[in-house]
Amino acid sequence: MLKILVTGGKGQLAQCIKKLSSSYQFEFIFKSSSELDITNAKNIEQELSNYSYDYCINCAAYTQVDKAESDVTKADLINHIAVEKLAKACSKNQVKLIHISTDFVFSGDNSLPYLEDDKTNPLGIYGKTKLDGESKILQNLDQFFIIRTSWLYSEFGNNFLKSMLKYGKEREELSVVFDQVGTPTYAMDLAEMILKIIQSQSKKYGIYHYSNEGVASWYDFAFNIFKLAEINCNLKPIRSQDYPTPAKRPAFSVLDKSKIKKTFQVEIPHWQKSLSKAIQNIN
């Protein structure tokens, strides 16, 4: 039976993996940041050498995009330096690493969906530290899957879906940007994709893109949340310049999923279909 370590064990993606875990014949060990500090090389080395893991799914990340602009040291420690330590320990102990990255490694200047080998050019600290983490995996490890995803949401943790459900019920009117375009991704779908990669025992290592199918602005995403949840809140579309944030976001960050679909023979659900499922699960 394959033994799998999941870091960032209390985050939304790890909780989705946990929910699906009973459907797979794997042994899972979930570790929160308080149980396993991935910024501590000794801690990681002990964990990996003591328990003979086959895979490590790294769900640990600093994801507060705006806060990262002022909290540079911590964002870099978790998204970059800790990832280097994890990659080195995985290499030494022959553990395959599945690492979650982001669409924010791109600038958003494209007009076509981003391919895995398109030029990266992050706009902010969050994207830069995530890209630096990717680079350290490439330098230190042969057996890895880096999965870039976008706009992650689920029933668990804090995310855009849960914020909209809360604020939509509390307020009469909400303004949401319409000029940032990407794809909402249901973390449960991503969790299933990760487990399929492990089940396949594939050696086709490298960088992959995974999000749900389709394209949306944040306004479209919010509009559909209110529609599906039957929330009567006046939703106003606004430009990014009317809602300034510490971190600049890519205007267009749609990911091309051709590589992952072809390699693993998977069909990816449309974001609206998955959103409907997520809202049903919350209710």
Catalytic residue set = 126
**Cross-strand pairs, 152:** 185
Residue 121 to residue 250: CA distance in whole angstroms:
10
Maximum pairwise Cα distance, the chain? 56
Residue 192 to residue 147: CA distance in whole angstroms:
13
Burial (CB < 10 A; 0-12, 13-18, 19+), residue 86, is buried
Task: Kindly calculate the radius of gyration of the chain based on its CA atoms and give it in whole angstroms.
Answer: 18
